[in-house]
Structure formats: structure tokens, C-alpha cells
Amino acid sequence: MGAFEDYRKRIRKEIPDSTEYFNYFFNNDYDNAIKVVKRDMDKYNQKYGIVPLELERRLEDAKMMKYSNIYYKNNEKAEELEKEGKIDEAIEVLESNILIHTDTPFTYYHLSSIYQDRNEIDNSIRVLKHGIKNCRKIPNKSHVNSLKRDLEKAKKIKKETKSQRLPSANEEHKQRDKEADDLLKQGKQDEAIKLYEINLNERTISNNSYSKLFKIYFDSEKYDDAQRVCEQAIEIYKPINAAKVSQYRQYLSKVYNKKEDL
């Protein structure tokens, strides 16, 4: 029994040749570095039924570097997308980081902030909870503490939002919408636009005015006007209706895409 244990200890302490592994590793080719380690581990398992600790360490290092590389690239990509106004695409990129359990705090700070800007507080809370869980292994505990504080703030916002009653459009705006809708049915689009625009000038919260104007301008390829309508709708609905904010952000993304194609 003693000889067998000595044998196992000797195998565990072996340092296999690392030339091929480090050639890939230091050239940032982590996928191939991982393949090399797994191949060597298979050889040891087949021959000895045990693998050296050094191979386990190499595998862990290569995996860590591979995913860290992905995390940081995704964070940079999300920042660029956000600058371009492609918020939904930025969210997708950051969410992909969470799916692979990133421990980079920036992902959670950034994504929770985007969701709060969109009044999607439940999503912000979900992201912060993931961040607290996945960042616990970071030696610097200040990040976890900061995420916890942000989580408490988000919960407070959610509680306050629930207690608010959403306002409705006033009767004058509703009547003007009805008249404009009737004009549209009669093919009098320019006259209808004037009425919808009056509502916008009075900063209506009537979704009908925003949605009808957006469609008219977008279909007419008047993208600057379509953008203006979306931006005002987002501003108006931001404190009161997260779903509408999300809707008009999607419309805004369509406008940006069309303008890029011009």
C-alpha cells in the first residue's frame, strides 16, 4: 500500500513537457492550449489512471484566460454598441457574459445601469444578484459590497415604482388623436400629422400620437422625424412606463439602422 501511494505521489508531482502548451498559451491561442492539456491528461489517465497536478493547473489557467479574454472583448463591444445607440445589441452581448458566469464586475455594473435607464428594474435586480454570486471569488470584496448596495437601491426603486399610479392621456389629447385617426382613414395624412404634432408639442403621454407619427415618418423615410418622435416618447415614458420605453428604443434602433444604410 505504501509503495502504491508513493507511486501516485510521484505521478502527481511530475512536470510534463510544456513546450507545445506554452507555445499556444503565450500566443493567446487558448483553445489549442486546452486541447494539448486534455490530450496529455488522457495519456496519463490511460497509462497510470492519474494525472499530474501540473496538467490540472495548466488546464485551469488556459480556461481562465480564454474566458477572461471573452469577457473583456464583450465588455468593449457592448460599450461601442451603446455609443452607436444599439442598446438591444449591447444588452445581448453583456447577457452572454453572464451566461458564462463572468466574474468581471464591469459587466454587472454596466448591464444593471442600462436596465435601470430603461426602467426594467426586475432585470436590473436579476443582473445584480448574478453579479454578487459570481464575483464572490474575487479577492477584492469591495466589488461585491458595491453590487449589494446597488441591489438595495434597485429594490427601493422597484418598491417606489409599484406605489405610483400611471397617469393617462388627458381628454383633449384623446379627442385630438381621434380626429387625427379619422383624417388618416380619409387619406388626409398631412392634416393628421399636424394634430399628432400638436399633442407632441404639449408633451402628451398618449401612445397613439407617438406610434402613429413614428409609422408615418418611418414609412415615408423621414428618419430624422422618426428619431425625434422616438426620443421624445422615451423621455416621456421613462419615469412611468418601462414597456413603452423598451418599445421605442427598439423603434429607435430600426431608425439608426436605416440611417446607416443611406
> Would residue 190 count as lying in a domain?
yes
> Would residue 195 count as lying in a domain?
yes
Give the per-residue pLDDT at 119: 73
> Would residue 29 count as lying in a domain?
no
Instruction: Report the mean per-residue pLDDT for the chain.
Output: 87
Average the pLDDT over 10-27 and give the result. 89
C-alpha cell at 88: 438591444
pTM: 0.48
* pLDDT tens readout for residues 132-166: 998 887 767 888 899 999 999 989 888 876 655 55
Q: How far apart are CA 119 and CA 158, in angstroms?
A: 9
* pLDDT tens readout for residues 161-212: 665 555 567 899 999 999 999 999 999 999 999 999 999 999 999 889 999 9
> Would residue 184 count as lying in a domain?
yes
Could you tell me the CATH number of the domain that includes residue 207? Answer: 1.25.40.10
Q: How far apart are CA 154 and CA 137, in angstroms?
A: 23
> Would residue 97 count as lying in a domain?
no
Place of cell 402628451: 204
Give the per-residue pLDDT at 41: 94
Give the per-residue pLDDT at 244: 82
Distance of CA 208 to the CA centre of its chain: 29
Q: Kindly state the helix (H) or strand (E) to which residue 66 belongs, with its residue range.
A: helix 53-83
Please give the residue range of the domain that contains residue 214.
Answer: 171-261
Q: How far apart are CA 60 and CA 79, in angstroms?
A: 29
